[in-house]
Structure 1
């Protein structure tokens, strides 16, 4: 089930970080534990949920695509995730394709069909509108791929954000030519107490319930979820569908500590630190 995006303090901090990297035409490193929301924030910032299918499958155009063109013109951002076995050549080809297609879409917004006589093949070479590339899962990058990204940054003046696990900043410090260009480092943290309560209130409402921290049963439930997830956004999103399932199966109307423990037992809970 697709969950509605929840704007947390960490997402706002990521947005401020990405804006600063983009404005400064520099390189930024974003790191944090698995599941805290780094990828979700990156996809939200790049509006990738709206643009991914269009840029990936590149089929016939539709009138509704104009909204995506406008979105890309606002974000000026490309999100790229290398596979485990991505070679430097594949990275170059895939990034070039994503940038080219994004530029074409932005051109369509700025100068709709019939107003721009520039051939499609010439648009990327003549005008680059992409200002920021976000690379997720960047621990997968080989040294040659980092060198390729550094060259892209130097040559085309496109800002870069590399996202990964804690220790990313230490990993890249072994490549001084790349690391010397890093302007910002951002740590993405798990949800704090207040934010976790805010997110839980949203989930309670989605189930038609009202969360009252002063109520003993609700307070127990909050404490149990806090202990299980330790503020990890992904675990929280995985836990609630199971909570809903347990309640339906047992025809229960209240989210209790027992319900949460039963829901937890169906999940494989890894470390969140």
Structure 2
């Protein structure tokens, strides 16, 4: 089964509005939500990492096709970063300097290609307007102070992403907390969003979802009960459902298929 295409849910749209506001106001934003709800996917998509990740990681010789990546990075002027579990403040600073420089060079290339910049002077860090930090619980007090200092010095917006409750730790850092302008909770899929997502998963399996059909309605209810609207868990469940249907040569998604797929997964609290 091929990877699922990105699905623009209502929660993703709300994240875009939140990130745009943080970037526009040049403030600090906090995004929190349960694991698997889609926070990281939305943040990576916002930063256009799905288009730029290979170029930023490999950083080899340039190609004419790279101009599309430059344009994508220039649209949001955003760096996405996930610190390692054992990252020291020094490592975080070096990693961010490295990423900001590469993204800035790409944005600079786009601005020159489009004639918006003609000056030979490059102020690279000024091209980046927003830094998104995923797994922010991994940052210690010194690393947070380093981010606060970068925010003040470079006038760059910052979004910190983490699990519910992580936002409360910032109350212990008044200089950082006083600069927080927006907080956004990334919630599990609501009923209408769940059906929207399930329609696409059904289609991926060559089926058409009909909520008025008794069999489909039973399957939807089983998926909703098992996943509680958790985006990542839905994706994992459908991967197993595809396997169950293929092994048993089934052509219909039923609640029995859902339960059989569920029995193969290790599901924690959502």
Q: Scaled by the length of structure 2, what TM-score is found?
A: 0.96
Write out aligned runs for 1:160-179 (5 A).
160-179=158-177
Partner residue of 2:122? 123
Q: Deviation digits for residues 71-90 of structure 1, max 9, x if unmatched?
A: 11111000010000111111
Alpha-carbon distance, 1:2 to partner:
1.8
The answer (yes or no) to whether the contact 1:100–1:124 under 8 Å persists in 2 is: no
CA distance in 1, matches of 2:126, 2:61: 23
Alpha-carbon distance, 1:49 to partner:
1.2
What root-mean-square deviation, in Å, do the aligned CA atoms of Structure 1 and Structure 2 show? Answer: 1.6
Q: Deviation digits for residues 122-149 of structure 1, max 9, x if unmatched?
A: 6345x61100000000000010000000
The answer (yes or no) to whether the contact 1:78–1:134 under 8 Å persists in 2 is: yes
Provide runs of 4+ in structure 1 moved above 4 Å. 113-117
Partner residue of 1:150? 148
Partner residue of 1:246? 244
Out of 240, 252, 257, which is 2:255 matched to? 257
Out of 264, 268, 271, which is 2:266 matched to? 268
The answer (yes or no) to whether the contact 1:9–1:195 under 8 Å persists in 2 is: yes
Using a 3 Å threshold, how does the CA distance of structure 1 residues 182 and 117 change in structure 2: closer, same or farther?
closer
Aligned length: 268
Is there any run of 5+ residues in structure 2 with no aligned partner, and where?
A: none
Partner residue of 1:14? 15
Alpha-carbon distance, 1:117 to partner:
7.2
Partner residue of 2:139? 141
Out of 228, 231, 236, which is 1:230 matched to? 228
Alpha-carbon distance, 1:179 to partner:
0.5
Out of 207, 212, 216, which is 1:218 matched to? 216
Q: Scaled by the length of structure 1, what TM-score is found?
A: 0.95
CA distance in 2, matches of 1:101, 1:257: 49
Provide the secondary structure at the position in 1 that maps to 2:211.
Answer: coil
Provide the secondary structure at the position in 2 that maps to 1:123.
Answer: coil
The answer (yes or no) to whether the contact 1:29–1:168 under 8 Å persists in 2 is: no
Partner residue of 2:189? 191
CA distance in 2, matches of 1:158, 1:87: 22
Alpha-carbon distance, 1:116 to partner:
5.5
Using a 3 Å threshold, how does the CA distance of structure 1 residues 117 and 156 change in structure 2: closer, same or farther?
closer
Using a 3 Å threshold, how does the CA distance of structure 1 residues 225 and 113 change in structure 2: closer, same or farther?
closer
Provide the secondary structure at the position in 2 that maps to 1:186.
Answer: strand
The answer (yes or no) to whether the contact 1:22–1:131 under 8 Å persists in 2 is: yes
Deviates more, 1:13-22 or 1:50-59: 50-59
Alpha-carbon distance, 1:112 to partner:
3.6
Q: Deviation digits for residues 2-47 of structure 1, max 9, x if unmatched?
A: 2111011100000000000001000000000000000000001000
Deviates more, 1:147-156 or 1:260-269: 260-269
Partner residue of 2:204? 206
